[in-house]
Each structure stands twice: as structure tokens, then as C-alpha cells.
Amino acid sequence: MADVLVVGSYNAGFTIYAPHLPRRGETVGDARFDWGPGGKGANQAIALRRLGIDTCLVTKLGEDVFGDHGRDVLLAEGLPAWGILRAKEPTGVAFILVEADGENSIVVAPGANLALGLDDVMALGDEAGVSRFVLLQLECRTELAVDVGRWARSGGRRVVLDPAPARALPPEALAYFDIITPNETELALLSRALGGPDGGTVEAQAAALLEKGAHDIVVTLGQRGALWASAAGFQSFEAYPADVRDTTGAGDAFSAALVAALARGASLPDAIDLGCRAGAYCVSHDGVIDGLATWSALAGMKKGPAQ
């Protein structure tokens, strides 16, 4: 039995650090390459493990070289073997372009991730059925997050959805998640798809989701921190300073740290503060995995100018 069950994607990630994005037909030289494990589900599960939380990841890898590598990495991070499933489809892959200012553009071929369903999670029995928290994203089929969210919440678990990448949700699904952690793009899409404001302020868009049945919304705002929206109103959280190198995975680091803090008994405001620390730590490192912090690294972070 784990404290946190993460159900989600694994992608082998291939990152090019380039001075700028190529225009159509252009070749950009002077780039640097790296590859390694990724995928929002795997990143979040590894982040939770590094923060000392007993975590299980349920994910699907292909029967190929990237799947074998992914399994080795996940086991080495201390994630249990029983959640690492295999599919006949190829392992998911992500091609990531990072520009000089750290902003990224990503293309994902999800492969085996699309074969993951609620039936796979339920087939794991009590191993997957008794965690206190469940953390989900939208990088597998949308129905996976909706189905697992409904199932987990009806079983009394606290369910957190990081709605990334940006996708619409059916209106009834908002109530399945105790906390939803969109960035501004994801919030705008969720709001628009549910008939809320098309444009307007973050507050207005978050309020529209609350009206449609969402519980707590925590909007990540990058270098402007975060905003918590609930029935009680709005609360802003200051960002931690960061020397931005690569923004890939900042949302994963934030959501995982928020859940890690809750699993340790923190209040939601304190959990949001830890999420802000984890996001700042992540963007200050190249790649995602090197940017997933330990508890002591986050505890030592201070507000003020970037070091």
C-alpha cells in the first residue's frame, strides 16, 4: 500500500536545447541534445519519491528498448514493479525543444500510454486501491483521469488533477477532483470548454470552474507564483526566485510537491508554497529529472533575488 497513487504517462524524452525554434524549412545549428525518462505521470511519481513519499505509479510501457530503460529507471527511483505495466504499442516518446530563455515546445507520440485504462488500475486490487491520495494528469486518454477520479473519490481518497496537457473535461468530472492545478493555458481551455469566460482574468476563469462544481483550484502562474481559488475566495502566493534554464516539467514538480506536502499533513496554503518552491527549483535545472528536488533542497530555498 502506498500513500500516493499516481496514474499516468511515461515518455522517453528527447530534448534539444537550441538558441531559437526553427522556422518551417529552416535548420538551426548550435544545439545540444539530451535524452532520458519523462512523461507527466513518471515525473510526478519520481518527484514524490524524492520528497520521501511512499508512492506507486501505474503506467504502461511498450515492449521495446525505451520501455526496458523506463522500467529500470522507475525501479531505481524506488517505484514498485507491480504498477509498471506493458502494452503491445510502442513506449510513449516526447520531442522537446528548449529555447535560450528556457521556454519549451513539445510533441508527444503517446503510444502505450493510450492503452492504460481504469480496468488496469482495478486489476491491481488492494495494491492500488488503498492509497490516501491519487494524483492524475491528462497525458493518457482523458477518460482515464475521469474514470480513475470518479472511482478514487467515491472510495474516499483525496484526488488531485494536474490538467496537463490542456484538454477539455466533461462538466460532471470537475467534482471528481478535490484539487485541480492548471497553468494559465490549461485554465483558459477548461473554462472556455465549460462555457465560462473566453479570455478575461484568471480569477474569472477559476470562478467559472468553481461555479460548475470544482472544489479547490490552484493556478500556477510561473514567475508570478500561484493563485488558490475556492468557495472562500482567492489567495495569491509569491514565486520563489529562479535562474530559468528549462521550464519543462515545472508543473509536474509543482503538483507533486503539493501532494507530498498534503500527504505529510500540511495545510493547502503550505502545500502550495512547497509547490512554488519545487517549480522554481525545477526551472533552474536542465531537464526534468535533475530538477526534481529532495525535501531538504526545497526547505532551504528563500525568497529574494535568484542565487
Smallest gap from Cβ 1 to ligand RIB, in A, equals: 27
Sole binder of ligand RIB in the list 113, 248, 255, 284 (CB under 6 A) = 248
Sheet holding 32-38, edge to edge: 32-38, 11-17, 92-98, 104-109
Stretch that binds ligand RIB, among 82-90, 175-183, 188-196, 243-251 (CB under 6 A): 243-251
Residue written as grid cell 519543462: 248
Sole binder of ligand RIB in the list 8, 41, 43, 102 (CB under 6 A) = 43
Where in 261-300 is the site for ligand RIB (CB under 6 A)?
A: 288
Q: Tell me what percent of the chain is helix, strand and coil, each rounded to the nearest 5.
A: 40, 20, 40
The C-alpha cell that represents 30 in the structure block: 548550435
8 binds ligand RIB (CB under 6 A): no
Give the residue at shortest CB distance from ligand RIB: 38
Where in 73-132 is the site for ligand RIB (CB under 6 A)?
A: 94, 106, 108
73 or 208, CB closer to ligand RIB?
Answer: 73
Smallest gap from Cβ 10 to ligand RIB, in A, equals: 8
Per-position x/- string for 137-156, each x denoting binding to ligand RIB as judged by CB under 6 A, each - no binding: --x-----------------
The residues pairing with 136 across neighbouring beta strands, listed in sequence order, are 7, 161
User: How many residues sit in the footprint of ligand RIB (CB under 6 A)?
Assistant: 15
Question: Which residue spans within 128-265 are E strands per DSSP?
Answer: 133-136, 158-161, 179-180, 216-220, 226-230, 233-237
Q: Is 272 exposed, middle or buried (0-12, 13-18, 19+ CB in 10 A)?
A: buried
